[in-house]
Structure 1
Amino acid sequence: MRRLSLSSRLALLFAACTAVVSLFAGVLFSRASEAHFVELDQQLLDGKLIGVRRALQDLHSSTSETRLADELSRQADLSLRITGSDGQRRYESSTQLPQALPRQPGLSTVSHEGTAYRVLNAPLYPDQANSPQLTLLLDITHHQHFLQRMQRLIWLTVGLSALATALLGAWAARSGLRPLRRMSTIASGVSAQSLSSRLPEENMPPELAEMAHSFNAMLGRLDDSFQRLSAFSADIAHELRTPLSNLLTHTQVTLTRPRPIEDYREALHSNLEELQWMAQLVNDMLYLAKADHGLLVPTRQSLELAEEADLLLEFFAPLAEDTRVTLGREGHGRIEGDRSMLRRALSNLLDNALRFTPVDGQVRLRIAEQPKQLSIIVENSGEGVSAQLLPRLFDRFYRADPARHEGSSEHAGLGLAITQSIVRAHGGQIRCESDNGWTRFVIELPRGD
């Protein structure tokens, strides 16, 4: 069975609500009208009861019947039955009255042969115990016909109002859901070649503005991810093209003619360097792929970061001496983390700092403990990084130096991306700041204690 559209559901809901409200209001009006008629009949019969009692002050008087007939003639739809204390009928103004009537005092309603009567029972002499009983009957058939016509009108009104509300509700729902149809149209046109379309948020109703904003944000993330994926594929091809070309050219040149064994050995050593660099590049790419899929799960062990930092600074000390760069460490702190992963991240940052620190410059590693997190700052003096380049430093294969060293066996532009993946795997974040002649990478890691 085909599901109803949202517009149809809203239209039916509007119609049902309108029908229920109209029916409820109609029933209340009908009950109020009926109660009003009962009140009017009660007042009329009470007034006639007084007149009948006045006309029958002396039931055995010769003029009482004349006065009674005169009183009844003033209300054509009024009838009277007088019953003695022994239950025998002494007077009946009409021969078409019902034989069996209620005997309890007060007002009641009966029907007989299609005619409805309002019946009032009362004693002729209220102060006498064996007083004859008066039964006044008021023909209310015209009241009943009015109420029946009103009930039919109520049902007709309910039906017409429900139909009108359904039609108007369908129109209103279609008009109100027009932004959703525009959203569907834009979504159907989204493809890898067209991710720039956006919903006009300023024209959206408040209920859909947040959805439109989320939809546009999703398209923005898809566009950014696709651009990064395209750039990543191009960078991979760019990085592998030069070493593969070198391998092919070197091998072809070596095989053009017979050579001494030393020449072949030298060619193999040269090829081995290129292959090792390519193997390292592939390993780094696999490492980042694991991080992207949440497979980079660090082990947790208690680490004294000051000790780890001192070991890394000792390792980089010979390279710093060659360029007369001063290495230093400040602060200490303990954290739960993966030793090898954190060493790799700090090693990438120190290597990056040494490469961009001028002669006689400084590289400092600072550790700062805070109540809920621990900060590791690696900073170096020298020419800073422009604000436009800071957001891209952690992109894969990105080099701040515009001169791209194609096929470089030292740096492929993946070190900072790997560092970011390691920090995120530990639940932290990393950012780069550059001002006043200093460039610093700030790592913030949550503390487990």
Structure 2
Amino acid sequence: MNRLSLRSRLALLFAACTAVVSLTAGILFNHASATHFVELDQQLLDTRLANLRSTLQGVETLDAFNDRKTHLIADLNHQPDLTLRIDSVEGLTWFDSTPPFSQARPEDTGLHTRHGDQAAYRIFSTTLQPDSAHSPRITLVLDITHHQHFLQRMQHLIWLTVGLSALATALLGAWATRSGLKPLHRMSKVAAGVSASSLTTRLPEEGMPRELAELTRTFNAMLARLDDGFQRLSAFSADIAHELRTPLSNLLTHTQVTLTRPRSLEDYREALAGNLEELQGMAQMVNDMLFLAKAEHGLLIPARERLKLEDEVDAVLEFFAPLAEDNRIELSRQGQATMNGDRTLLRRVLSNLLDNALRFTHPDGYVRIDLQASASGISLSVENKGAGIAPEALPRLFDRFYRADPARQESSEHAGLGLAITRSIIQAHGGSIGCESSEGVTRFRVELPR
């Protein structure tokens, strides 16, 4: 069955269901017909028994029977399908016209059926006079061969009907399923034509059956996600190649210039120190990319310890205080909150947000961190006064290697991965992060569970 097509399976199931229903109906009809014939035969035997009791009324001895025998034979001649046997109370047979095959026995009481190769009989045995202790026993044998022939023909007809119905249903089922599965064939053709260069293909939802409409929408949504993922992967490949090309070019150029002629030991030392700085930047970029890849695959599992966020914020603010003082930027923290989280990762989040805010805050500006705790969770916001962020840049702010202002030349230590790492850490803690900016005030808002 695993190798059969869906169309073949449905056709076979339709045929099997039709065969079962037809066979069940035929068996029930056959049983009902057989029961009906039994009832008719019982009524006929009861009627003829009443006539015989009237003819042989008062007969309890052989002499009395012989006096009525002529009338009995005359009655039997008018009923060729009925034979008779009469036995005395002592077991002597007074009269017997039954066929040998019927095997009528006086001890058999009630209605019985005997079957043979060529004939069948309904046998009914009872006393001739129920109210008399000396009444002889009478056995009526009715030939029902024509009934059995009818039932046999009906059984053959039932089997023929079952076979023809199953065959017709299988053929019609195959045609119906082929017509009904045409939308699936269209989906299969579309799926077969999907490749990295044709992810924009979509299945038409018009004309789809109701059962396949949801599957069509799900399939199109999957293609949209694949297209988005492929575009992001292509952009990421281009971005990382662009980001690595500059330090690699610097390393190559610096090394080639250094090797153009013999130099002093101090010159070589300075060249190696410059190369080391570039290599450290590249190593940091690679480590950040590995961190993001681990987070995206669900492998970033934060530790859970009870933290006072105000203490963690104060520690990070103390670290950045000299830089803020040099730029005449005021740092402040308001509120307090407690949560379960990873101290190292959360400090990295705070450091990334503070570093980002300090770099884009004008001199004599401010950076304010606000903590708020509620029954639903914890809200942390980092606000600074600066140039602001364009509205069209906000949706892509947390993308890897994205810079809100490409014209701003940053040092190699800022590769555009900080906010992407920040979002991955927040999501690993079960939270979310967003950004809003208007009139030069930029605010990053983090929502965390308690």
SS in 2 for 1:240: helix
User: CA separation of 1:31/1:208 partners in 2, compared to 1, >3 Å: closer, same or farther?
Assistant: same
Say which is worse superposed, 54-63 or 324-333, in terms of deviation.
Answer: 54-63
> What's 1:44 paired with?
44
Cα pair 1:102 1:108 within 8 Å, conserved = no
Separation in structure 1 between the aligned mates of residue 255 and residue 434 of structure 2, nearest angstrom: 44
Separation in structure 2 between the aligned mates of residue 426 and residue 172 of structure 1, nearest angstrom: 53
Separation in structure 2 between the aligned mates of residue 58 and residue 182 of structure 1, nearest angstrom: 90
Give the superposition deviation at 1:415: 0.9
User: CA separation of 1:231/1:263 partners in 2, compared to 1, >3 Å: closer, same or farther?
Assistant: same
Query: For each residue in 1:6-65, what CA deviation from the matched residue of structure 2 results, as whole angstroms up to 9, or x when unmatched?
Result: 333333233223222222221111111111001001111111111122222355388744
User: CA separation of 1:47/1:431 partners in 2, compared to 1, >3 Å: closer, same or farther?
Assistant: same
Query: For each residue in 1:362-409, what CA deviation from the matched residue of structure 2 results, as whole angstroms up to 9, or x when unmatched?
Result: 32211122335322221224555444432211111101114263x732
> What's 2:355 paired with?
351
Separation in structure 1 between the aligned mates of residue 5 and residue 65 of structure 2, nearest angstrom: 83
Cα pair 2:373 2:379 within 8 Å, conserved = yes
> What's 2:428 paired with?
425
**2:430 is matched by which residue type in structure 1?**
G
> What's 1:393 paired with?
397
**1:305 is matched by which residue type in structure 2?**
L
**1:76 is matched by which residue type in structure 2?**
P
Give the superposition deviation at 1:326: 3.2
The one of 232, 238, 257 equivalent to 1:234 is 238
SS in 1 for 2:444: strand
SS in 1 for 2:103: coil
1:182 aligns with 2:186: yes
Cα pair 2:84 2:98 within 8 Å, conserved = no
1:23 aligns with 2:27: no
% identity of equivalent residues: 66
> What's 1:75 paired with?
79
Cα pair 2:85 2:98 within 8 Å, conserved = no
Separation in structure 1 between the aligned mates of residue 411 and residue 254 of structure 2, nearest angstrom: 16
User: CA separation of 1:91/1:329 partners in 2, compared to 1, >3 Å: closer, same or farther?
Assistant: same
* TM-score between the two structures when normalised by the length of structure 2: 0.86
> What's 2:135 paired with?
131
SS in 1 for 2:372: strand
* TM-score between the two structures when normalised by the length of structure 1: 0.87
> What's 2:126 paired with?
122
User: CA separation of 1:52/1:425 partners in 2, compared to 1, >3 Å: closer, same or farther?
Assistant: same
Separation in structure 2 between the aligned mates of residue 387 and residue 139 of structure 1, nearest angstrom: 102
User: CA separation of 1:106/1:284 partners in 2, compared to 1, >3 Å: closer, same or farther?
Assistant: closer
> What's 1:111 paired with?
115
Query: For each residue in 1:427-447, what CA deviation from the matched residue of structure 2 results, as whole angstroms up to 9, or x when unmatched?
Result: 333222345754322222333
Cα pair 1:57 1:64 within 8 Å, conserved = no
1:218 aligns with 2:222: yes
Say which is worse superposed, 182-191 or 389-398, in terms of deviation.
Answer: 182-191
> What's 1:339 paired with?
343
Separation in structure 2 between the aligned mates of residue 61 and residue 238 of structure 1, nearest angstrom: 126
> What's 1:191 paired with?
195
Give the superposition deviation at 1:70: 4.2
**1:417 is matched by which residue type in structure 2?**
A
> What's 1:9 paired with?
9
Separation in structure 2 between the aligned mates of residue 377 and residue 99 of structure 1, nearest angstrom: 105
> What's 1:412 paired with?
415
Cα pair 2:98 2:104 within 8 Å, conserved = no
SS in 2 for 1:396: coil
1:308 aligns with 2:319: no
Separation in structure 2 between the aligned mates of residue 30 and residue 427 of structure 1, nearest angstrom: 70
**1:26 is matched by which residue type in structure 2?**
G
**1:426 is matched by which residue type in structure 2?**
H
Aligned residues: 445
Give the superposition deviation at 1:269: 5.5
**1:401 is matched by which residue type in structure 2?**
D
**2:142 is matched by which residue type in structure 1?**
L
User: CA separation of 1:208/1:2 partners in 2, compared to 1, >3 Å: closer, same or farther?
Assistant: closer
SS in 2 for 1:389: helix
User: CA separation of 1:124/1:378 partners in 2, compared to 1, >3 Å: closer, same or farther?
Assistant: same
Give the superposition deviation at 1:201: 4.3
Separation in structure 2 between the aligned mates of residue 296 and residue 61 of structure 1, nearest angstrom: 110
Say which is worse superposed, 59-68 or 40-49, in terms of deviation.
Answer: 59-68
- Superposition CA RMSD, Å: 3.1
Separation in structure 1 between the aligned mates of residue 103 and residue 246 of structure 2, nearest angstrom: 117
User: CA separation of 1:318/1:138 partners in 2, compared to 1, >3 Å: closer, same or farther?
Assistant: same
User: CA separation of 1:87/1:401 partners in 2, compared to 1, >3 Å: closer, same or farther?
Assistant: same
Q: Structure 1 unaligned runs (5+)?
A: none
Q: Structure 2 unaligned runs (5+)?
A: none
Separation in structure 2 between the aligned mates of residue 79 and residue 244 of structure 1, nearest angstrom: 118
User: CA separation of 1:363/1:125 partners in 2, compared to 1, >3 Å: closer, same or farther?
Assistant: same
**1:38 is matched by which residue type in structure 2?**
V
SS in 2 for 1:368: strand
1:150 aligns with 2:154: yes
